[in-house]
Amino acid sequence: MTAAAIDLGSYLARRKALVEEALDRFVSPAGGAPPRIIAAVRYSLFAGGKRLRPILCLAAAEAVSDAWESALPCACALEMIHTYSLIHDDLPAMDDDDYRRGRPTNHIVFGEGLAILAGDALLTEAFHLLADPGLMPGVTPETRLEVLRLVAGAAGMTGMVGGQVMDLEGEGETLAALTDMHRRKTGALLTASVVAGAVIAGASPAQRDILTRYGRKIGLAFQIADDILNVTGDSARMGKSTGSDAVRGKKTFPSLLGLEASRLKLAELVDGAAADARQLGDSSGILVQIADYIRERNI
């Protein structure tokens, strides 16, 4: 199937449904955990996320092999880690957000203590899932450990947690610092999503390198698109108030670089990512389209 033959909207809807059905199974009320923590975890896990990270993971696996469904547990683990990071980022001691995607945040509904624990649970259960011997048939233990290490590295203190620390400490005052912060905070897990999918599907070193470059570009593009939309977008589409970065005095790509230069940088990254993906041949058509989709931050 060539890139042009696939309708992106229907592809995304199908993958989203697949991921949500799997998440529903993996984070089940039947597991023996106290009911309140399951409720808190599931509240945020099923709060209308776009499932970008799992979809990227599956699309990267599909670009490499027909056996892409082996990456489904990993795709779910990535969404669980992403969801934990949102719950903790929204806490009063962090960004202090009462709403996300138009719904009250976890700590507003369940209280701060349970929200912290819901994040802790999602992070821990993500690794529990990645180590489940009954899942990912055909994937060697060596590969599973490699994926686990890659995901933990991206989520840890040199990656996502480190980026959130920089954000909390008010770093990102210069373009270099802002770029470093976003590469850690958002870029690391997005890149890991792409690379993990590829590794599970048995990517060659060359394919892996190409997809790492693709992942880094769309990771940063995603954040720049978000910043631009925060200036120019409508709040219904964002699920949060526009102009909120400016109100908080947060530095953004538009505030440091200007709106026009930010758009050019975004285009350069997205075009570069699409060119990377094209090197993998027809099987990467969806990755090309996702890069383009991020340009408009529709995802």
Which residues of the chain form contacts with a second copy (CB under 8 A)?
31-34, 36-38, 41, 84, 88, 91-94, 111-117, 119-121, 123-125, 127-128, 131-133, 140-142, 144-146, 148-149, 152-153, 155-158, 161-162, 164-166, 168-169, 171
Nearest CB to a second copy, comparing residues 150 and 299? 150
Contact between 57 and 74 under an 8 Å Cβ cutoff? The reply is yes
What's the distance, Cα to Cα, between the start and end of the chain in Å? 23
Q: How far is the CA of 130 from the CAs of 76, 136, 227, in angstroms? A: 9, 9, 32
Least distance to a second copy from the beta carbon of 133, Å?
Answer: 7
Contact between 37 and 124 under an 8 Å Cβ cutoff? The reply is no
Nearest Cα to 58, choosing from 42, 78, 75?
75
Nearest CB to a second copy, comparing residues 25 and 237? 25
Least distance to a second copy from the beta carbon of 191, Å?
Answer: 16
> Cα separation of 52 and 75, whole Å?
10
Least distance to a second copy from the beta carbon of 112, Å?
Answer: 4
Nearest Cα to 55, choosing from 186, 190, 147?
190
Lookup: tokens for 136: 């990912």
Nearest CB to a second copy, comparing residues 20 and 120? 120
C-beta pairs of 25-31 under 8 Å, 24+ apart in sequence:
26/73, 26/76, 26/125, 26/129, 27/80, 27/122, 27/125
| DSSP code, position 174 | S
Nearest CB to a second copy, comparing residues 3 and 150? 150
> Cα separation of 23 and 79, whole Å?
9
Residue 99 bridge partners (DSSP): 104
Nearest CB to a second copy, comparing residues 2 and 133? 133
Nearest CB to a second copy, comparing residues 55 and 123? 123
- Mapped onto helix, strand or coil, the DSSP state of residue 295 is helix
Least distance to a second copy from the beta carbon of 172, Å?
Answer: 11
Least distance to a second copy from the beta carbon of 6, Å?
Answer: 34
Least distance to a second copy from the beta carbon of 180, Å?
Answer: 10
Least distance to a second copy from the beta carbon of 13, Å?
Answer: 30
> Cα separation of 212 and 210, whole Å?
5
Nearest CB to a second copy, comparing residues 189 and 266? 189
